[in-house]
Structure 1
């Protein structure tokens, strides 16, 4: 029989408390399961991606798995290595246990296929107690991001898309932010590579060196998150290539699988300093405060005075902004630079109204446009009377409105014949009628007779209805114009700003008996033998235009007087005279030589020919005054053009052009 000690020693009490606490811990946990195998060379989980990944750099290599040091091992214990539930090896530990005893090599062929592999081990101690470890999976991923499909184009700020990437943008913004479309399988740890290179055929299907990288965070990979943004430092962009640039991206997953290059976004990059200090344009024909229909026919030009602007580049284009119309850009040329504004542009806001608007120009460099200061322009294209049909002619509105009724010249002959002046009309004023009256109260009608430079009668329409309108042609004007079997007679409507012309009525003027006068000849005319003679640059009009009145023994006689006159016109048909260009030679009394051989006169260049700056014309008229007092006249139209094909440029004595 033994007796118990009633009092335990302090040491025994301590040991007893330890055993009790250990028992309590065993009852309540923690989990005694050993830690999972270590996978040497694998990529461990990160926030947002809990996978262990077998990186592309390890493909084709063996995998070493290792029992962690947290598990104490003793000689003669047993470790079982297990893969996907299958035992790989039963290992009895050596005495002493070495580090190599903890390791097992999985050959490369066992993990070469894509998939998820599960590894674990079992530990049996010397008493035969076996404890399985936690499993550890290894993901082998061979699929490139976005299912190996090229992504859509990246997005850049709209300002860059519209205007190109300029130095001004980079100076104003610390970064160029490129928004990247989300891949179909975007995952935390993915890397986005941004590329920058010239647009052109790809010799290598893969871009080589990225200019920026971005790692996808856990938050960025969440469903519904914003698209990733790669911020490219502006100072870095300044070191990159310029021109037409392709911006694209690729995704790379944590395994190292490289996604397809995305579709690219084209960007025009020009880091040269933009145009600056643009001078305001001018419109010379608006110097009087208004552009009217006559100005449009003459030719409206926007001019950019010297020096133009700063930071000029040879490839710059100049684009005129006229009201709401953009004129197609033209290459930069010398200042003062002139740009033609055609009639469709002038009339885009209305071909028959008055209005005011802004006009400017822009320097176009790539996609970037630098605007000039604006100027105010006023136009008035309204006409008196019937509105003409739209005119698509780029050179200006047709002065003749074929919708206006024609005039009728009334005759005193018996029986009366319209548009004929015969013997009964001699020494009397002619009556011209117009019906119906095409204009309104307060507007004007002006009658023009033949080639006379000014109208011969004017009627002011009042509130009292006038129909028919009656014009009177004085007899002296009929005499001055002379004989013609097809004398053109027309009228204009005038509202104080614009004049439009009616279709011509041809009048047979038989009053003046002298008939059959010959056409004026032009010795220096263009030799191409057109129907209407042409004086061009090779005719050297600055030396004067030589006009020869041919000899005419039938109609001329010694003692007769011939007066020669000249008038210039803006158009090639002799419809729109140029004020101030009239020139009349002194009357010449004919002698026998001149009767038979004719004579030559030279129209002076200054003030009379030089003002023709379009493809215009001139009319030489000679009036024969017989000794008996009868008068005969004949006019010949000659086209006069100093216009080169390149627009407003004109030949001059200094720049005569090339003549064979």
Structure 2
């Protein structure tokens, strides 16, 4: 079996075909008195090197080829034409074919017309192989003469048959163990590589070497050269300038003499360390959210936990360093690619994939190690470890929505009035009676746990069961005295809920889904309480409307109604103004005065101010040391109410307060 490659076979076949053709032509000349025309002349390639005779460069295969035709003896005369036909065949074939259309050559032909340059169509170069080219000249008498042949080799197969060759190897093992440093490049002048053996090696094969960062695609080689018998090359040191420290790839492409490029070789990987390295141990990470109590709890986190961990810039940090954070026993890591070496690093630590698995089934504070490493190339630099106390335990059933503090698996409450029978609705018949909040005890119940009942929001605690006693699933009633809720906000949808947590802090709490209770028929819905912007301060520090605050000739009282988001605009507000002779507001001074105002949407959003009088009706009845209660109720369904009691005085030691002529309209303070 032959050991020749396919390309060697083609070159040898071409040479043998030339020898056979030359002998055949010589034989024909001996046997015949007829002489062939001179062979067509191809362009000169490869500096005329006979080892590559007839080998057509790759880029020349993509365009028409200039062919020079020597002078033939009996050319066309004046008014005549010769007709030239290029013919083309595989060297192994005995059948000639027309290479393109006939070319008419007009006479008279002179020696100066030769050699005559004609174009051979590029369509003849579409198929790989060794080909023969000749031409024929036919005169007007119909006589045809043939030329000798010229051979061409059309090669379209890249080295290694176009397949990706194996990765290059590094001559010096120090490159693998220590990486490529600036000192190494300075000492060696570059990086030596060995190209592995590949299929169909041929004289004249070249290679292009590429050096690039991981995650990038090279477009321009850093080195090109001929492959010698050692297949060893030196990549110059400046090929590595401009690259970021870290892992780099070294690859190459084989290129044959013609210019056929093979597939990129597999990557050889090395660490590039041209800059100073980080110095381990690096500073430990920190969790700023626990500075107040030193424990990371559910209230400190959410699902994403943006910037939960903070890391100070470390010495010798570089762009493209990879920081990898480990949180406790969590298998998943947090990674961060450095883009600004001088900036503080903030890391997100997701709850579901990292915090939750690391805490596991713990029921107490769990000391959790948190650390990180910096990866640069194939080197790592570890930090000191921070121990973070973590407490995610909450009594009761596991919350499927944790860390959301509302647990849909906690039993919800039902609210009942003393008289009415409709659940979660209190009416006027329930006023003054007990309110019962019923629920089923959660499962499981542990020791040292408590339930806290809230009415309206998480600041309005109305009852507590501490510790929780009983059996999971049993009914339990919180019984509330009416006084516990009578001064709380009213609405058609007051949220009532409880939380579960440990009795002894620190600890986490979760709430059941609130039950919305309609108390609008039993308690007035709260509007913003009236304010008195010109009120003065009595000697004991309490606000008061006194002689200094009644302004203008009519001694009016300025009242401000703050913004009221429960209103929309267009509603009528009914005001009641009641004077009392005592400061506690228990001794009315005659009948109350009433008036109404219709408000706009702008007044709802921004609040509004009005001045009320006359003095004799609205202030003087308070005497020396009385009070005024201003109440207003919306004409809506249900009605809503705001109310303020303020100390007031219409008399001084000499008698009735005189008009306060020194006060400018709208002024505040004492009126001086």
* TM-score range normalised by the length of the shorter chain: 0.3 to 0.5
TM-score normalised by structure 2 residue count: 0.46
TM-score normalised by structure 1 residue count: 0.47
